[in-house]
Amino acid sequence: MGHATSLSHFLILSSSRFSRLGSLTRLLSKPTSLSGSFSSISVTGQGFRCCCSVATDDTSPSVKKRVVSGVQPTGSIHLGNYLGAIKNWVALQDTYETLFIIVDHHAITLPYDTRQLGKATTDTAALYLACGIDVSKASVFVQSHVPAHVELMWLLCSSTPIGWLQKMIQFKEKSRKEGVENASVGLFTYPDLMTADILLYQSDFVPVGEDQKQHIELAREIAQRVNHLYGGKKWKKLGGRGGSLFKIPEPLIPQAGARVMSLTDGLSKMSKSAPSDQSRINLLDSKDLIVDKIKRCKTDSFAGLEFDNAERPECNNLLSIYQIVSGKKKEEVMEECKDMSWGTFKPLLADALIEHLSPIQARYQEIIAEPEYLDKILSEGADRAEELGAVTMRNMYQAMGYYQRRRY
């Protein structure tokens, strides 16, 4: 985020050692409609990238599965973050126990403005709530307020071969931009922190976009390696319960809205880090700015509008955005727009975006005007996260042979 934007955003399939996991048949879930409801389907999995997840207590059917996800507080949250992740979280919170994180530790591995980090953190939290995260159903907290994320990262680093991290595509891309000699160690070990975010809460599933792959494969590999090195009979001999220390996370892919592309290049993902603000719709953009960005966005010279034509990536992207923000079915959009010109469609899309985002913007202004309310929510969310994470950390320290503190 400077890196990828979502904890619910973290992964990419590699043709290297991770590809063998791609052949596994996984139980995934997909929305049955644009409302984001999920149904189980059996598919051939391919690995992903994440900081979002879902966990279950297998021994009690009455206990909800758990979803954990997040977004970095860098730059403005844009339409891709919202449609690709946050909107789906709102649907998940009705079915699962959910924890949503502002992942500020991830934001410091690239150069950043120290004067803006705090404000960006609270702004991101306020947008979570404005987008529909309900604190009666979900916990919202700041990553750095729960020290166990970093503690677990260090324990995982001790079991992660350097070669695994060297194969990570994100590090290669980011370090090239910074210069390999100037890239931080934090950027290199960033995947271990993502893995800690997933494993700390015993996640079963990881909500990810179709393009988010490699880090979830790494998280699975690390979990399996730690279970082998320290779990089972070895842990039991040290006084533990034995068995696995971590559940092995699986990907959870939304059917619609998983990937929103740039307004200036239909083959590139909408991104906070893109140099041109014209490439994205930010959730807090004014009405006039949204109209201007849609008016100027890249299109093509084909007649009519259509989905799923590989020669028309911008057309597919804009129609997909319209489909989701309007709440219409794909077939309805196809029938409505098939004979439209761009001059007719663009104002239609801009109006739909404004109508969809206006309530979010109004709610955001209400929340940000009450800092004590927001602070209370973040504090209570961190308390809940610490309670859950403490169990994982006690087990890890015991299984790895640490001398435990005696309290008097």
Tokens describing residue 186? 């934090």
Q: Identify any residues that bridge with 139 across adjacent strands, giving them in sequence order.
A: 99
CA–CA separation, 21 vs 336, rounded Å? Answer: 42
- The Cα–Cα gap between 148 and 382 comes to 11
Q: Tokens in use for 302?
A: 């084909």
Burial class (CB in 10 A: 0-12, 13-18, 19+), 328: middle
Say how far apart CA 257 and CA 6 lie, in whole Å. 14
Strand partners, 269: 261
Catalytic residue ranges: 174, 269, 272
